[in-house]
A and B are shown apart, each in its own frame.
Chain A
Amino acid sequence: MSDVCIIGIGIHPFGRTEGMTGMDMGVAAARAAVADAGLDWNAVQFAFGGSDASGNADTMIRLLGLTGIQFINVKNGCATGGSALFAASSAIRSGEYDVGLAVGFDKHPRGAFDPIPADWGLPEWYGETGLMLTTQFFAMKIRRYMDQFGISPVTLGRVAEKSFRNGALAEHAWRREPVDLETILNAQMVSDPLTKFMFCSPAEGAVALVLASEKKARELGGPVIRLKAAAMRTRPAGSFEVFSPMLDIARGGSATNIASAAAFEKAGIGPEDIHVAQLQDTEAGAEIMHMAENGFCKDGEQEAWLAEGRTEIGGKLPVNTDGGCIACGEPIGASGLRQVYENVVQLRGAGGRRQVPGNPRTAYSHVYGAPGVSAVTILER
């Protein structure tokens, strides 16, 4: 079986772009990724792509070129990008193909998501009475975690402060202005204990990655960045998920726990071997909890990690070097691939002012979403 390499990356800046559909952004990202690989569209043998709310990805071939390739649409909520990447990777690893594309894009209206209960197998009253909000779930998950493990509101603020500081250094980020800790902590409360600066917003954007077999990557002569693992998992019993009218008293692990463990096992390395990580930060609490759920620290250690700046760009384990979802916003279909894009930038040493020092060789990405899905990748240069 061939190792799988990422040979081209393309992004359409996140945020708001008037006059462009989500799919337009997907096309722009796909063209950029193919050009970055030094190829033209004719060389792409297959694609997996998707969006949550911006249409059928395979429609893009009308603009990219009618070359007759296999193009499979993926729709898997927050794991859409990760699932497309997993599928594309498998197609190359199996030997079926040499060069393919994974693409994700989206464009959401302003404000919180407005899910329909039936889509999630839930009764109407759950939405009608105002219980079906992602923001409430995030707030209650971190509230419980803070009570259990002694995480303070200041630590939540430090996460958001870092996000905006890093986002200011990333060309593709949406929020490009630093915000100071005081402002973050004293801002309007959205869902206690989370203020408005601690949440990401639904947004717009697109990312595409060109994958190739190692043999093909070497022929093309670029830096060889291997996708050592891509794992997507669903929730185990007793997990705490968004849109849950009930929880079992016997508590269990999370989709993140098992996706992370599976990815580390495939890659043959552990959390201590990772040099840079992009972790789902739908809000500041999520980044904190995901540090532990992915095995990078023990529950409660985040308080010291943030105070000591260990997740800063120059720290022991830089986390969310482009500002993550908090600075980039969350176009559902594109968000997971943005993390991989950023990791490739870092492993190429092309991060400019946000470049992780010390020549990082390993990079980790993690997404989490409803109704309890997680996708993890590990890259190695």
Chain B
Amino acid sequence: MAKRPIAEGLFTDEAEPRLIGGRRLSDGRIVFPMPSGGEAVFYEPVPLSRKGTLWSWTVQRFRPKSPPYAGPEAFEPYAVGYVELPGEVIVESRLADVAFDRIHSGMAMELVILPFTSDPDGTIVTTYAFRPAGESA
């Protein structure tokens, strides 16, 4: 089945994908995502660490309004969190492969790319998430 990322330039296409941030040329500040448009000239793309620790979290218990939400009609609650990538930046992400009652701040997390929804032609649309590191690889 064909696959496509939900946005170009969001994460790398490699065996162990990484989020793509931006490093500000003037001072080295790291941002996520890599800025686009007129702002992009002030940054260089930089792949971010695949591992980090959970900084805060919640569970999205109702289906967000569409637009902007583009997930499947059938709704399952999902966890969301901020993951601190050491020395880089804290990124917001979906959380995967963890029971809601086992989530706690400080957990070791790693990046995964997961199917999110599908296009009308069946193409699978992928997005990024973080899951507990070292479990069910």
The reply on A191 being an interface residue by CB < 8 A is yes
> Are B70's CB and A190's CB within 8 A?
no
> Are A132's CB and B68's CB within 8 A?
yes
The reply on B10 being an interface residue by CB < 8 A is yes
The reply on B92 being an interface residue by CB < 8 A is yes
> Are A116's CB and B67's CB within 8 A?
yes
Whole-angstrom distance between the alpha carbons of A190 and B84 in the complex? 25
Whole-angstrom distance between the alpha carbons of A147 and B56 in the complex? 9
> Are B58's CB and A192's CB within 8 A?
yes
> Are A144's CB and B55's CB within 8 A?
yes
Whole-angstrom distance between the alpha carbons of A143 and B106 in the complex? 12
- Chain A, interface size category, equals 35 or more
Query: Contact mask A122-137 → B, CB, 8 Å, 1/0?
Result: 0111111111110110
> Are A127's CB and B90's CB within 8 A?
no
The reply on A140 being an interface residue by CB < 8 A is yes
Chain B residue with minimal CB distance to A133? B64
B window 34-85: CB within 8 A of A: 36, 55-62, 64-65, 67-71, 78, 80-82, 84
> Are B56's CB and A248's CB within 8 A?
no
A190: which B residues are within 8 A, CB to CB?
A: 61-62
Whole-angstrom distance between the alpha carbons of A190 and B70 in the complex? 20
> Are A128's CB and B58's CB within 8 A?
no
> Are A136's CB and B55's CB within 8 A?
no
> Are A248's CB and B89's CB within 8 A?
yes
Q: How far is the CB of B68 from chain A (nearest CB, A)?
A: 3
> Are A127's CB and B91's CB within 8 A?
no
Contact of A140 among B33, B65, B68, B82 (CB under 8 A): B82
Whole-angstrom distance between the alpha carbons of A190 and B80 in the complex? 13
> Are B78's CB and A144's CB within 8 A?
no
Q: Which of A25-33, A71-79, A107-115, A327-335 lines the interface with chain B?
A: A107-115
> Are A246's CB and B67's CB within 8 A?
no
> Are B67's CB and A114's CB within 8 A?
yes
> Are B87's CB and A249's CB within 8 A?
yes
B84: which A residues are within 8 A, CB to CB?
A: 249
Given that A246-B90, A247-B82, A247-B90 are known contacts, is A127 also in contact with B56, CB under 8 Å in the complex?
no
A window 244-262: CB within 8 A of B: 244-249
B33: which A residues are within 8 A, CB to CB?
A: 123, 245-246
Given that A136-B80, A139-B58, A249-B87 are known contacts, is A127 also in contact with B68, CB under 8 Å in the complex?
yes
The reply on B105 being an interface residue by CB < 8 A is yes
B62: which A residues are within 8 A, CB to CB?
A: 112, 190
Residue in B10, B21, B58, B94 with the greatest tally of chain A CB atoms within 10 Å: B58
The reply on B118 being an interface residue by CB < 8 A is no
> Are B92's CB and A116's CB within 8 A?
no
> Are B68's CB and A114's CB within 8 A?
yes
B69: which A residues are within 8 A, CB to CB?
A: 127-128, 130
Contact of B56 among A114, A115, A116, A143 (CB under 8 A): A143
Q: How far is the CB of A281 from chain B (nearest CB, A)?
A: 18
Given that A114-B67, A116-B67 are known contacts, is A128 also in contact with B92, CB under 8 Å in the complex?
no
B window 70-122: CB within 8 A of A: 70-71, 78, 80-82, 84, 87-94, 100, 105, 116
B71: which A residues are within 8 A, CB to CB?
A: 128-130
Chain B residue with minimal CB distance to A112? B65
Q: How far is the CB of B117 from chain A (nearest CB, A)?
A: 9
Whole-angstrom distance between the alpha carbons of A248 and B87 in the complex? 10
Contact of B81 among A140, A189, A248 (CB under 8 A): A140
Chain A residue with minimal CB distance to B55? A144
Contact of B127 among A125, A127, A192, A248 (CB under 8 A): A125
> Are A129's CB and B6's CB within 8 A?
yes
Residue in A115, A188, A245 with the greatest tally of chain B CB atoms within 10 Å: A245
> Are B68's CB and A136's CB within 8 A?
no
Q: How far is the CB of B25 from chain A (nearest CB, A)?
A: 17
> Are B91's CB and A128's CB within 8 A?
no
Known A130-B64, A135-B60, A189-B61; further 13 A-B contacts with Cβ < 8 A: A125-B6, A128-B69, A129-B6, A132-B68, A133-B64, A136-B58, A136-B60, A140-B57, A140-B80, A144-B55, A190-B62, A191-B61, A249-B90
Q: List 16 contacting pairs A-B, 8 Å CB cutoff, sorted by A.
A: A123-B33, A125-B6, A128-B6, A128-B68, A128-B71, A135-B60, A136-B60, A140-B57, A140-B58, A140-B80, A141-B56, A143-B105, A144-B82, A193-B58, A245-B91, A246-B89
Residues of B at the A interface (CB closer than 8 Å) are 6-7, 10, 21, 29, 31-33, 36, 55-62, 64-65, 67-71, 78, 80-82, 84, 87-94, 100, 105, 116, 127
